[in-house]
Structure 1
Protein backbone atom coordinates (compact mmCIF):
# COMPACT_ATOMS: atom_id res chain seq x y z
CA UNK A 1 0.00 0.00 0.00
CA UNK A 2 1.39 3.37 -1.01
CA UNK A 3 1.46 6.13 1.59
CA UNK A 4 0.66 9.60 0.39
CA UNK A 5 1.74 12.69 2.21
CA UNK A 6 -0.27 15.81 1.83
CA UNK A 7 1.15 19.26 2.16
CA UNK A 8 -0.56 21.91 4.21
CA UNK A 9 -2.59 24.50 2.32
CA UNK A 10 0.11 27.18 2.80
CA UNK A 11 2.82 24.77 1.61
CA UNK A 12 0.80 23.95 -1.52
CA UNK A 13 0.41 27.69 -2.15
CA UNK A 14 4.17 28.17 -1.71
CA UNK A 15 4.84 25.33 -4.13
CA UNK A 16 2.52 26.75 -6.79
CA UNK A 17 4.08 30.22 -6.46
CA UNK A 18 7.60 28.79 -6.62
CA UNK A 19 6.75 26.88 -9.82
CA UNK A 20 5.33 30.10 -11.30
CA UNK A 21 8.44 32.03 -10.31
CA UNK A 22 10.64 29.34 -11.84
CA UNK A 23 8.83 29.86 -15.12
CA UNK A 24 9.20 33.65 -14.85
CA UNK A 25 12.91 33.36 -14.06
CA UNK A 26 13.52 31.03 -17.00
CA UNK A 27 11.88 33.62 -19.27
CA UNK A 28 13.89 36.44 -17.70
CA UNK A 29 17.13 34.51 -18.31
CA UNK A 30 16.26 33.99 -21.97
CA UNK A 31 15.37 37.65 -22.44
CA UNK A 32 18.41 38.88 -20.54
CA UNK A 33 20.65 36.83 -22.83
CA UNK A 34 18.81 38.37 -25.79
CA UNK A 35 19.38 41.86 -24.36
CA UNK A 36 23.12 41.18 -24.19
CA UNK A 37 23.13 39.97 -27.79
CA UNK A 38 21.15 43.03 -28.81
CA UNK A 39 23.72 45.32 -27.21
CA UNK A 40 26.85 43.42 -28.22
CA UNK A 41 25.97 42.14 -31.67
CA UNK A 42 23.95 45.01 -33.03
CA UNK A 43 23.64 48.08 -30.92
CA UNK A 44 27.32 48.85 -30.34
CA UNK A 45 27.95 48.84 -34.11
CA UNK A 46 25.27 51.40 -34.95
CA UNK A 47 25.56 54.01 -32.21
CA UNK A 48 27.67 57.10 -32.20
CA UNK A 49 30.49 57.32 -29.66
CA UNK A 50 28.52 59.78 -27.52
CA UNK A 51 26.06 57.27 -26.00
CA UNK A 52 28.86 54.80 -25.13
CA UNK A 53 28.52 55.73 -21.44
CA UNK A 54 24.82 54.84 -21.60
CA UNK A 55 25.79 51.48 -23.13
CA UNK A 56 28.32 50.82 -20.38
CA UNK A 57 25.70 51.61 -17.75
CA UNK A 58 23.20 49.32 -19.49
CA UNK A 59 25.71 46.45 -19.57
CA UNK A 60 26.37 47.03 -15.87
CA UNK A 61 22.63 46.96 -15.10
CA UNK A 62 22.19 43.79 -17.16
CA UNK A 63 25.06 42.19 -15.25
CA UNK A 64 23.47 43.09 -11.90
CA UNK A 65 20.11 41.79 -13.15
CA UNK A 66 21.73 38.52 -14.16
CA UNK A 67 23.30 38.13 -10.71
CA UNK A 68 19.95 38.78 -9.03
CA UNK A 69 18.21 36.34 -11.38
CA UNK A 70 20.76 33.63 -10.50
CA UNK A 71 20.31 34.29 -6.78
CA UNK A 72 16.52 34.09 -7.21
CA UNK A 73 16.78 30.86 -9.24
CA UNK A 74 18.83 29.29 -6.46
CA UNK A 75 16.50 30.50 -3.70
CA UNK A 76 13.33 29.39 -5.48
CA UNK A 77 14.97 26.06 -6.31
CA UNK A 78 15.89 25.57 -2.65
CA UNK A 79 12.28 26.28 -1.63
CA UNK A 80 10.95 23.80 -4.21
CA UNK A 81 13.43 21.14 -3.05
CA UNK A 82 12.40 21.62 0.56
CA UNK A 83 8.69 21.38 -0.33
CA UNK A 84 9.34 18.24 -2.37
CA UNK A 85 11.19 16.68 0.55
CA UNK A 86 8.27 17.54 2.82
CA UNK A 87 5.82 15.99 0.37
CA UNK A 88 7.96 12.81 0.28
CA UNK A 89 7.97 12.75 4.08
CA UNK A 90 11.76 13.02 4.05
CA UNK A 91 11.69 16.06 6.32
CA UNK A 92 9.05 17.46 8.63
CA UNK A 93 7.10 20.54 7.65
CA UNK A 94 8.02 23.58 9.70
CA UNK A 95 5.25 26.11 8.92
CA UNK A 96 7.04 29.04 10.53
CA UNK A 97 10.29 28.41 8.64
CA UNK A 98 8.40 27.96 5.34
CA UNK A 99 6.45 31.17 5.91
CA UNK A 100 9.65 33.11 6.69
CA UNK A 101 11.36 31.78 3.56
CA UNK A 102 8.28 32.60 1.52
CA UNK A 103 8.28 36.21 2.71
CA UNK A 104 11.95 36.54 1.72
CA UNK A 105 11.23 34.97 -1.67
CA UNK A 106 8.29 37.33 -2.22
CA UNK A 107 10.58 40.30 -1.54
CA UNK A 108 13.36 38.92 -3.76
CA UNK A 109 11.00 38.15 -6.65
CA UNK A 110 9.39 41.58 -6.36
CA UNK A 111 12.86 43.17 -6.52
CA UNK A 112 13.90 41.06 -9.52
CA UNK A 113 10.63 41.84 -11.33
CA UNK A 114 11.02 45.57 -10.75
CA UNK A 115 14.68 45.50 -11.75
CA UNK A 116 13.90 43.45 -14.87
CA UNK A 117 11.16 45.85 -15.97
CA UNK A 118 13.31 48.93 -15.34
CA UNK A 119 16.25 47.50 -17.29
CA UNK A 120 13.98 46.44 -20.13
CA UNK A 121 12.36 49.89 -20.30
CA UNK A 122 15.73 51.65 -20.26
CA UNK A 123 17.14 49.33 -22.91
CA UNK A 124 14.16 49.82 -25.19
CA UNK A 125 14.39 53.60 -24.74
CA UNK A 126 18.08 53.43 -25.62
CA UNK A 127 17.36 51.34 -28.72
CA UNK A 128 14.55 53.68 -29.75
CA UNK A 129 16.83 56.68 -29.35
CA UNK A 130 19.54 55.01 -31.44
CA UNK A 131 17.02 54.16 -34.15
CA UNK A 132 15.79 57.74 -34.23
CA UNK A 133 19.38 59.06 -34.35
CA UNK A 134 20.21 56.66 -37.18
CA UNK A 135 17.13 57.79 -39.13
CA UNK A 136 18.09 61.44 -38.63
CA UNK A 137 21.67 60.77 -39.77
CA UNK A 138 20.49 58.92 -42.90
CA UNK A 139 18.00 61.66 -43.86
Structure 2
Protein backbone atom coordinates (compact mmCIF):
# COMPACT_ATOMS: atom_id res chain seq x y z
CA UNK A 1 0.00 0.00 0.00
CA UNK A 2 1.35 3.42 -0.93
CA UNK A 3 1.78 6.42 1.31
CA UNK A 4 -1.64 7.64 2.36
CA UNK A 5 -1.94 11.39 2.36
CA UNK A 6 -3.85 13.43 4.90
CA UNK A 7 -3.48 16.71 3.03
CA UNK A 8 -5.66 17.89 0.19
CA UNK A 9 -4.64 16.81 -3.31
CA UNK A 10 -1.87 18.54 -5.19
CA UNK A 11 0.92 20.63 -3.74
CA UNK A 12 -1.06 21.88 -0.74
CA UNK A 13 1.94 21.82 1.60
CA UNK A 14 3.84 24.13 -0.72
CA UNK A 15 1.03 26.54 -1.61
CA UNK A 16 -1.09 26.72 1.52
CA UNK A 17 -1.06 29.69 3.82
CA UNK A 18 0.39 29.12 7.27
CA UNK A 19 -3.07 29.42 8.81
CA UNK A 20 -4.28 26.51 6.66
CA UNK A 21 -1.28 24.42 7.70
CA UNK A 22 -2.02 25.38 11.30
CA UNK A 23 -5.59 24.06 11.04
CA UNK A 24 -4.37 20.84 9.40
CA UNK A 25 -1.78 20.38 12.16
CA UNK A 26 -4.46 20.87 14.81
CA UNK A 27 -6.39 18.03 13.15
CA UNK A 28 -3.29 15.83 13.34
CA UNK A 29 -2.99 16.49 17.06
CA UNK A 30 -6.67 15.69 17.56
CA UNK A 31 -6.30 12.44 15.60
CA UNK A 32 -3.19 11.46 17.55
CA UNK A 33 -4.98 12.14 20.84
CA UNK A 34 -7.87 9.95 19.69
CA UNK A 35 -5.43 7.15 18.83
CA UNK A 36 -3.82 7.58 22.26
CA UNK A 37 -7.24 6.95 23.85
CA UNK A 38 -7.75 3.98 21.56
CA UNK A 39 -4.40 2.56 22.73
CA UNK A 40 -5.55 2.97 26.32
CA UNK A 41 -8.65 0.92 25.46
CA UNK A 42 -6.53 -1.82 23.86
CA UNK A 43 -4.35 -2.01 26.98
CA UNK A 44 -7.47 -2.23 29.12
CA UNK A 45 -8.86 -5.01 26.91
CA UNK A 46 -5.68 -7.04 27.25
CA UNK A 47 -5.54 -6.44 31.01
CA UNK A 48 -9.12 -7.62 31.42
CA UNK A 49 -8.47 -10.91 29.60
CA UNK A 50 -4.82 -11.30 30.59
CA UNK A 51 -5.39 -14.45 32.62
CA UNK A 52 -6.77 -16.25 29.53
CA UNK A 53 -3.99 -14.93 27.32
CA UNK A 54 -1.01 -16.16 29.31
CA UNK A 55 -1.34 -19.86 28.68
CA UNK A 56 1.66 -21.42 26.99
CA UNK A 57 0.19 -21.50 23.48
CA UNK A 58 -0.64 -17.76 23.58
CA UNK A 59 2.51 -16.57 25.35
CA UNK A 60 4.48 -15.76 22.19
CA UNK A 61 1.56 -13.89 20.68
CA UNK A 62 1.08 -11.97 23.92
CA UNK A 63 4.71 -10.89 23.98
CA UNK A 64 4.51 -9.79 20.36
CA UNK A 65 1.23 -7.97 20.94
CA UNK A 66 2.45 -6.24 24.12
CA UNK A 67 5.65 -5.21 22.40
CA UNK A 68 3.72 -3.81 19.43
CA UNK A 69 1.34 -1.87 21.66
CA UNK A 70 4.21 -0.48 23.72
CA UNK A 71 6.11 0.63 20.61
CA UNK A 72 2.95 2.16 19.14
CA UNK A 73 2.28 4.02 22.39
CA UNK A 74 5.82 5.44 22.43
CA UNK A 75 5.51 6.49 18.79
CA UNK A 76 2.19 8.17 19.52
CA UNK A 77 3.71 10.13 22.42
CA UNK A 78 6.70 11.12 20.29
CA UNK A 79 4.50 12.28 17.42
CA UNK A 80 2.20 14.22 19.76
CA UNK A 81 5.21 16.07 21.16
CA UNK A 82 6.74 16.66 17.72
CA UNK A 83 3.43 17.83 16.25
CA UNK A 84 2.79 20.16 19.19
CA UNK A 85 6.20 21.79 18.65
CA UNK A 86 5.43 22.06 14.95
CA UNK A 87 2.13 23.77 15.79
CA UNK A 88 3.99 26.25 18.01
CA UNK A 89 6.38 27.03 15.15
CA UNK A 90 3.42 27.52 12.83
CA UNK A 91 1.93 30.00 15.30
CA UNK A 92 5.24 31.86 15.35
CA UNK A 93 5.30 31.87 11.54
CA UNK A 94 1.80 33.33 11.41
CA UNK A 95 2.99 36.15 13.70
CA UNK A 96 6.31 36.63 11.87
CA UNK A 97 6.45 34.98 8.40
CA UNK A 98 10.21 35.55 8.18
CA UNK A 99 11.05 33.75 11.43
CA UNK A 100 11.95 30.45 9.67
CA UNK A 101 13.07 29.41 6.21
CA UNK A 102 9.76 28.69 4.44
CA UNK A 103 11.13 25.96 2.17
CA UNK A 104 12.80 24.14 5.06
CA UNK A 105 9.71 24.49 7.23
CA UNK A 106 7.38 23.15 4.53
CA UNK A 107 9.73 20.23 3.91
CA UNK A 108 9.62 19.44 7.63
CA UNK A 109 5.82 19.75 7.55
CA UNK A 110 5.61 17.24 4.72
CA UNK A 111 7.99 14.84 6.51
CA UNK A 112 5.93 15.10 9.70
CA UNK A 113 2.79 14.36 7.73
CA UNK A 114 4.42 11.25 6.26
CA UNK A 115 5.47 10.10 9.75
CA UNK A 116 1.93 10.55 11.04
CA UNK A 117 0.49 8.72 8.06
CA UNK A 118 2.90 5.84 8.64
CA UNK A 119 1.95 5.79 12.33
CA UNK A 120 -1.77 5.61 11.50
CA UNK A 121 -1.13 2.69 9.17
CA UNK A 122 0.89 0.80 11.80
CA UNK A 123 -1.71 1.63 14.43
CA UNK A 124 -4.48 0.09 12.31
CA UNK A 125 -2.38 -3.06 11.91
CA UNK A 126 -1.74 -3.45 15.67
CA UNK A 127 -5.38 -2.71 16.45
CA UNK A 128 -6.54 -5.31 13.93
CA UNK A 129 -4.06 -7.83 15.35
CA UNK A 130 -5.17 -7.11 18.91
CA UNK A 131 -8.84 -7.64 18.08
CA UNK A 132 -8.04 -10.80 16.09
CA UNK A 133 -6.12 -12.24 19.05
CA UNK A 134 -8.77 -11.20 21.56
CA UNK A 135 -11.85 -12.35 19.64
CA UNK A 136 -11.60 -16.10 20.33
CA UNK A 137 -10.86 -15.47 24.00
CA UNK A 138 -13.84 -13.14 24.40
CA UNK A 139 -16.09 -15.59 22.53
CA UNK A 140 -15.04 -18.38 24.91
CA UNK A 141 -15.80 -16.18 27.88
CA UNK A 142 -19.21 -15.21 26.48
CA UNK A 143 -20.07 -18.89 25.89
CA UNK A 144 -18.93 -19.73 29.40
CA UNK A 145 -21.20 -17.06 30.87
CA UNK A 146 -24.19 -17.78 28.65
CA UNK A 147 -26.59 -20.31 30.19
TM interval, shorter chain, is 0.7 to 0.9
**Residue 121 of structure 1 aligns with which residue?**
128
**3-state DSSP class of the match of 1:12?**
helix
What corresponds to 1:12 in structure 2?
19
Does residue 130 (structure 1) correspond to residue 137 (structure 2)? The answer is yes
1:44 is aligned to: 50
Pair 1:92-2:107 in alignment = no
Question: How far apart are residue 53 of structure 1 and its match?
Answer: 1.6
Aligned equivalents of 1:109, 1:13: Cα separation in 2: 18
> What is the count of residue pairs matched by the alignment?
131
**Which residue of 2 is the match for residue 71 of structure 1?**
78
Alpha-carbon distance in structure 2 between the residues aligned to 1:48 and 1:79: 41
- Cα deviation for residue 47 of structure 1 reads 3.5
Give how far 1:129 is off: 2.1
TM-score (norm: length of structure 2): 0.78
Does the 8 A contact of 1:85 with 1:91 survive in 2?
no
Partner-residue secondary structure (3-state), 1:86: helix
How many angstroms does 1:70 deviate by?
A: 1.2
Preserved CA contact (<8 Å) 1:72 1:109: yes
**What secondary structure is seen at the aligned counterpart in 1 of 2:107?**
helix
The residue that corresponds to 1:62 in the other structure is: 69
Unaligned stretches of 5+ residues in structure 1: 1-7
Residue 5 of structure 1 aligns with which residue? none
Q: Which runs of 4+ in 1 moved over 4 A?
A: 133-139
Q: What is the TM-score with the length of structure 1 in the denominator?
A: 0.82
CA separation of 1:90 and 1:129: change in aligned 2, threshold 3 A:
same
Give me the CA root mean square deviation: 2.3
